[in-house]
Amino acid sequence: MKIGVLCPSEIAFRRFMPALKKSGLFQYTGVAFATKNEWHGDGFSAEEQTKAENFCNEHGGKITEGYTNLLASDVDCVYIPLPPALHFEWAKKALQNGKHILLEKPFTTNLHHTQILLAVAKTNDLAVHENYMFQFHSQISHIQEELAKGTIGETRLIRINFGFPFRGANDFRYNKAMGGGALLDCGGYTIKLATLLLGKTAKITTFVLNEKNDKSNFDVDLFGSATMINENGTTAQLAFGMDNDYRCSLDIWGSKGSIFTDRILTAPADFSPTVNIKIGQQEETQNLPADDSFMKSIQFFYDCINQPKTQLKSYESILKQAELIEELTK
């Protein structure tokens, strides 16, 4: 199947293309850069064409002027790594043009838009996948297996932290018009992981979103926290922020022991994570193999296209994530 890239973004250049080539599942055709009208004249970068040229010099393929023209081409699917506020418009157009879509997280900036896209996808029997690639890393399944075996007894509390230092005022994450905000960025990761560990009955019980920043005034949430709980009463405490000291940790406290790891959400393909398991006074460090979660996310997208059950699973997962994030915006 032929796949095109809508926007020569950094993540597309640095992470998506190497993983796509490694997977061998799709025929890459090229990348499109936006016209000024397609960005509605707001935030359009005259450098995007140059970025597209650099993109194709490195990864090959054809340069297409205009996202609309790429969607009208003979590609079967598109990868969309645009800023969040542009996801709904271009994902909808892609689906209306009969293209399967691999969409960077968050899927959209609100539940209503997500519901519309899923309805269009279902009507046209098209696959959609929200690219929270960390969930496919083998360290996640390893930790789930340890919990299922009762290695640390019954789970008493889950803590998930994900935050990073201020990235600069020009970063789209600090721009409300572009779909910025900590909740939609790093916060979404923590919610996704908590759902994987708590199960389908997970729900938000309390939350706080904060906008304070001593560098400048941004009309977005810069950091926050939330509590999630499932039908069994198992609780997850989440903390996230994009004006924070860097953290990317999972800490699971059990009745007999604890599990801890500090690179749960961002492990690159060549990184070998470690998981620390403490039982009483005995502590073991487990060295896990490196794993390419981005490539495995692309494989999942391929399965969504070819396997109806996987396609439905993706629909449900996307909707659940959108519903939980919506709870934090009320």
| Catalytic (active-site) positions | 105
> What are the CA-CA distances from residue 285 to residues 4, 109, 146 (Å)?
42, 39, 13
The set of long-range contacts for 117-126, using a CB threshold of 8 Å and a minimum separation of 24, is 117/88, 117/91, 117/92, 118/315, 118/318, 118/319, 120/92, 120/95, 120/96, 121/95, 121/315, 122/315, 124/95, 124/96, 124/98, 126/95, 126/98, 126/99, 126/100, 126/101
What secondary structure does DSSP assign to 204-261, as a single string?
A: EEEEEEE---SS---SS--EEEEEEE-TT--EEEEEEESSS--EEEEEEEESSEEEEE
Half-sphere exposure of residue 317, counting CA atoms within 13 Å on the CB side? 24
Helix (H) or strand (E) holding 121: helix 111-123
| Cα–Cα distances in angstroms (integers) from residue 296 to residues 56, 80, 211, 269, in the given order | 24, 17, 35, 10
Give me the residue label for tokens 């995007």.
48
Burial of 291 (0-12, 13-18, 19+ CB in 10 A): buried
Cα distance between the two ends of the chain: 41
Cα(197)–Cα(195) distance, integer angstroms? 5
- Rounded distance between C-alpha atoms, residue 190 and residue 185, angstroms: 10
Q: Are 247 and 260 in contact (CB under 8 A)?
A: no
